[in-house]
Structure 1
Amino acid sequence: MMQTLITGLLWFSAIGCGLLAGLYFAFSTFIMTALGRIGQAAGIAAMNAINVAIVQSLFMPIFLGTTATSAALAAVALFRWGEPGAIAMVAGGVLHVVGMFVVTMIFNVPLNNALAAADPASHEAASLWARYLADWTLWNHVRTVSSTAACALFIAAIAAA
């Protein structure tokens, strides 16, 4: 019974991490570049619209649910340390929670909030937008790598069980 639950959580976490990794990969590889090319006011308006829509979408249950199950798997694995897949579960859980969730809360969300508060047509918005594009994308790269690696580690834990 317990192993079935853990396996289900591993599958949910692996799929959730994979979905998030794909989203972050898209932003890192072409969406932010495209937003940077369309002009400051339009880019800011588009990113602000994305930031409003994303928290009202199916993204949020996946984002929060995957974070919760990743943390739970890491904790469970500490109590099952000698069992196959435990190291991968701990590593995947910690990597996802820290490299995706914590990075999002500490870096990406405050950048989003600053962008939302800015007047897109102001002179100050030009320097804010340039910094936003560079800094947000840098931290998004961290989220992409962390989510991808966590996905792989959860799959490794499934394979080891």
Structure 2
Amino acid sequence: MRQILTSGLLWFSALGCGLLAGLYFAFSAFVMTALGRIDQAAGISAMNAINVDIVRSPFMPVFLGTTLSCAVLVVLGGLRWQEPGAIAMICGGGLYVVGMFVVTVVFNVPLNDQLAATDPVGTSATSVWARYLTDWTFWNHVRTIASLAATALFIVAIAGR
């Protein structure tokens, strides 16, 4: 039974991490650049709209479910660390939870909150938007790399089992 649960969690985590890596990659590769090229007020308004809609979308169950699944895999791997694929499972889960979830909570969400509190045409908007574009995108790169690396590690774990 534990083998079936672990296999299911590995597949779910690999797919979830891969899906989220693709989303974060899109933002890093072109969405943030495009938002930075349009009028500041329009860019801020668009990003604020994205931030409102994303928490009401299917993104949230995937985001939270993948994080929970990865955390469970760290525990399961730790309990059976000597089994084939366990180290990749632990590393993938830990990397994802820290490099994606913790980074999101500690860096991206506070930047989103600051942007939401900014008047898009106010005097402070220019500095807030410039900082947002660089800082948020940097941390999004971290999330992209962590999610993609976790996907690879889960594939290694699946192949090793």
- Which TM bucket (shorter chain)? over 0.9
1:15 aligned residue:
15
Distance 1:74 1:159 in 2: 17
Distance 1:5 1:72 in 2: 10
1:69 aligned residue:
69
1:83 aligned residue:
83
Please list the CA deviations of residues 111-160 of structure 1 after superposition, one character each: whole Å capped at 9, or x if unmatched: 00000000000110000000000000000000000000000001110100
Q: CA deviation at 1:60?
A: 0.2
Please list the CA deviations of residues 13-41 of structure 1 after superposition, one character each: whole Å capped at 9, or x if unmatched: 00000000000000000000000001110
Please list the CA deviations of residues 85-130 of structure 1 after superposition, one character each: whole Å capped at 9, or x if unmatched: 0000000000000000000000000000000000000110000000
Task: Provide structure 2 residue ranges, at least 5 long, that are not aligned to the other structure.
Answer: none
2:108 aligned residue:
108
**What's the secondary structure of 1:123's corresponding residue?**
coil
2:33 aligned residue:
33
Distance 1:111 1:4 in 2: 40
Amino acid in structure 2 at the alignment position of 1:126: T
Amino acid in structure 2 at the alignment position of 1:131: R
**Root-mean-square deviation over aligned CA pairs:** 0.4
The count of corresponding residues between Structure 1 and Structure 2 is 161
Aligned identity (percent) is 70
**What's the secondary structure of 1:101's corresponding residue?**
helix
TM-score normalized by the length of structure 1: 0.99
Distance 2:53 2:122 in 1: 24
Distance 2:86 2:9 in 1: 13
**What's the secondary structure of 1:121's corresponding residue?**
coil
Amino acid in structure 2 at the alignment position of 1:58: P
2:124 aligned residue:
124
Stretches (4+) displaced over 3 A = none
1:134 aligned residue:
134
TM-score normalized by the length of structure 2: 0.99
